[in-house]
Amino acid sequence: MSDSEILMRVEHLVKHFPVMRSRYLLFSYQAGAVKAVDDISFTLRRGETLGLVGESGCGKSTTGRAILQLHKPTSGHVFFEGTDLVGLKKEQMRRMRRKMQLIFQDPYASLNPRMTVQEIIGEPLLVHQIAPEKEIEERVKSLLKLVGLNPAFAKRYPHEFSGGQRQRIGVARALALQPSLIVCDEPISALDVSIQAQVVNLLEDLQKEFNLTYLFIAHDLSMIRHISNRVAVMYLGVIVELTGRSELYKNPLHPYTQALLSAVPVPDPTVEEKRHRIILEGDVPSPVNPPSGCRFRTRCPLAKEICAEQRPEFREVGPDHWVACHLV
Amino acid sequence: MANILTVEGLETQFKTQDGTVHAVNGVSFVLKEGETLGIVGESGCGKSVTMMSMMRLIPMPPGKVVAGLALFQGRDLLSMSDAEVRSVRGSQITFIFQDPMTSFNPVLTIGRQLAEPAEIHLNMTKKQAYDRAAEMLALVGIPKPKDRLDDFPHQFSGGMRQRAMIAMSLVCTPQILIADEPTTALDVTIQAQIVELVKGLRDKLGMAIIWITHDLGIIAGLADRVGVMYAGYIIEEAAVKDLYREPAHPYTIGLLGSLPRLDETSNRRLTSIDGLPPVLMAKPTYCPFAPRCRYAYERCWKENPALVTIDTNHRTACWIDTKTGRPR
């Protein structure tokens, strides 16, 4: 694949958060690290939606933030249109950030309650000096129209809106700078089912219109299947499987992906009757002290000796189908 | 099979600063022995309030159950004395809640909390009650149950806490178990564990279950019958297969259409339901779904439809026959 089709290339990204202890309340030292993201690599192609899915604490949000340099990566590289974002100076990064935006999970916490919608959506335009101040009002109005809100609402405050409407405001703010990449960090998990569909349809329409690239983070496998072109499955800080959407759901190779897919309920009683569930035992281990070798081996029904000894390589086993498992 | 619980015309209101909120507006349903009834609806539709009202768990004031009957074994729960309700609650009818962290007392051991219902309702000695607690923990699949009795809730993981919660609810072998979104806070692989566990316990102990959720997927594989709630009403009720195969109410149809499915093959657009659920500051005089309904006609704006039987075991509250699109 030529480089022009690749928007972002993430190489061996690592993000550890130090765990600090102190002795006699004075001398603090690093006692360990939460290995939130531990050596992951993937690419984002222009105009695609890459779904990033996994259970809570698997490092999917940290990945989203680390590639935007909102968490400074511990090591690794993030190439955005050929430029390595890791190690960029603050001012350089600020200029790059115009092209990459974030939509947050919680539409209540991610909008400043003391700012009007006009100020919230207009702020990125001001900060990046995209538009002269007198034009901003017009720009905000057209953005509101774009996300399906009444432009007359510009003078209102966030608390006057419902959850779904607030999420639309968050989308408008992300779109203000005409970015090429939007990281959607669980944008619909806080919303009711009937409202989720509204927001997902909006995101799909906007993608078509502006050729946006999405990194769509979610724990809902049905929604990920619906919106993504390719899907990456994370477990305890690593990507265990990455492939095209239909391939992943038709032919999951990693035992974790298989268990995860079988655990998702299907809203159809006749299908549910016939389904065979793989029930995983136990809980996800702590990322402070992850298992040796393969991270999934403690819950894996197929684990062998080698799984404890060696970390499986993330390798391409079929066309565009990447898996990290010794047994595949 | 005999009806174990009959609820008729239940209405609950809350006095707030802004006026009276009509949370439940006349809910009627029956629960048969050993049956699993699913109650589905979005946030604020009154599903939890219905159950809490029935069990006299609504704080009064601000809440008030203004009308209705809840017959359990021929006795009305709503007109019993407090002492009588207490003898039913926690022994014959028990609850499991959404958030297993906040529903345990953090400063008492798991053993202490599991032994309590046995001491109160079964007149066991402390020793017997602790043995019973250990037995229940073993039943829900917690390894080394005797050793875990002295643990505090924070020492359990989320999934284990929910297991302990289920163990506590089963101490007195109840006839009815009310599960209020018990898996919403859990990851999908843990959710699958809990659902399988409850199914197994149901087959073993034969209790009736009311399972409240917003997830139409879980209900499909679990319930015998489903009631769909909207704006404080049950707007459709049917055997589980009928509901998913032939949903009759426009809201149910919309809800099912807005769900992406794991086994979906085509890339269809999600059908979203426009608008928002109503704010129930007055008891609706017309169909509460009319403002969001694409079938709505004159009559829908004038009269509120009652729940009528349209087929064996299938009832719906709608003026329109959605199969033909014509008024009933």
What's residue B39's pLDDT? 95
Beta strand B208-213 with B225-230: parallel, antiparallel or unpaired? unpaired
Collect all residues of chain A within an 8 Å Cβ-Cβ radius of residue B182.
none
DSSP symbol at A313: P
DSSP symbol at B112: H
What's residue B90's pLDDT? 87
Q: Do A279 and B192 touch (CB under 8 A)?
A: yes
- Pick left, alpha or beta for residue B326 (phi over 0 → left; psi -120 to 50 → alpha; otherwise beta): beta
Q: What's the whole-number mean pLDDT along residues B129-140?
A: 91
What's residue B2's pLDDT? 85
Q: Do A201 and B260 touch (CB under 8 A)?
A: no
User: Residue type for A102, please?
Assistant: L
- Other Cβ atoms closer than 10 A to B118: 24
What's residue B257's pLDDT? 87
Cβ atoms of A13 and A39 closer than 8 Å = yes
Nearest-CA neighbor of A54 among A41, A30, A36, A78? Answer: A36
Please name the helix (run of DSSP H) or strand (run of DSSP E) that holds residue B40, with its range, or none. Answer: strand B36-40
The domain segmentation of chain B, as residue ranges, is 3-92+179-259+272-327, 101-173
Q: What's the whole-number mean pLDDT along residues B277-295?
A: 88
How close does chain B come to A232, measured CA to CA in Å? Answer: 16
Q: How many CB pairs under 8 A join A and B?
A: 128
C-alpha span between B225 and B252 (Å, rounded): 14
- DSSP of B178-237, one letter per residue? EEESTTTTS-HHHHHHHHHHHHHHHHHH--EEEEEES-HHHHHHH-SEEEEEETTEEEEE
Token duo for residue B84: 């009588």
CA dihedral sign, ordered A281, A287, A293, A296 = positive
User: Residue type for B160, please?
Assistant: M
Q: Which CATH architecture has domain A3-99+179-323?
A: 3-Layer(aba) Sandwich (3.40)
B259 three-class SS: coil
Q: What is the ipTM of this complex?
A: 0.80
Nearest-CA neighbor of B110 among B82, B71, B84, B136? Answer: B136
Torsion, Cα of B122, B127, B133, B135 (10° steps): -100
What's residue A4's pLDDT? 62
Query: With 90 as the cut, is the pLDDT of residue B40 above it?
Result: yes
Distances (CA, A) of B132 to B3, B125, B139: 30, 10, 10
State the pTM of this model: 0.86
Q: Do A267 and B271 touch (CB under 8 A)?
A: no
C-alpha span between A320 and B12 (Å, rounded): 56
- DSSP of A60-79, one letter per residue? HHHHHHHHTTSS--SEEEEE
Q: What's the whole-number mean pLDDT along residues B21-34?
A: 92
User: Residue type for A50, please?
Assistant: L
Q: What's the whole-number mean pLDDT along residues B185-192?
A: 84
Tens of pLDDT along chain A (328 residues) come to 555 689 999 999 999 998 888 877 777 888 888 999 999 999 999 999 999 999 888 899 999 999 999 999 999 999 999 899 998 999 999 889 889 999 998 888 899 999 999 999 999 998 888 888 888 999 999 999 999 888 888 899 999 888 888 999 999 999 999 999 999 999 888 888 888 888 899 999 999 999 999 999 998 888 899 999 999 999 999 999 999 999 999 999 999 999 999 988 888 888 888 888 888 887 888 888 899 999 999 999 998 999 999 999 999 999 999 999 999 8
- Other Cβ atoms closer than 10 A to A190: 18
Nearest CA in chain A to B192: A263
Mark out chain A residues that contact chain B at CB-CB < 8 A: 55-56, 162, 164, 192-198, 200-201, 204, 219, 221-223, 225-227, 249, 259-273, 275, 277, 279-280, 283-284
C-alpha span between A170 and B62 (Å, rounded): 35
Query: Dihedrals φ, ψ of B164, to 5°?
Result: -65, -40
B300–A contact, CB cutoff 8 A: no
B284 three-class SS: coil
A121 three-class SS: helix
What count of Cα atoms within 13 Å lies in the side-chain half-sphere of residue A177? 23
| Nearest residue, CB atoms, A269 vs list B43, B192, B241 | B241
Considering the four listed CATH numbers 3.40.50.300, 3.40.50.1400, 2.160.10.10, 3.40.50.720, the one that applies to the domain covering B3-92+179-259+272-327 is 3.40.50.300
**CA gyration radius, chain A:** 21
What's residue A163's pLDDT? 85
DSSP symbol at B326: E
What's residue B14's pLDDT? 92
Distances (CA, A) of B75 to A250, B81, B120: 53, 11, 21
Query: With 70 as the cut, is the pLDDT of residue B266 above it?
Result: no
What's residue B280's pLDDT? 85
Collect all residues of chain B within an 8 Å Cβ-Cβ radius of residue A273.
221
Q: How confident is the model at residue B313 (pLDDT cuts 50, 70, 90)?
A: confident
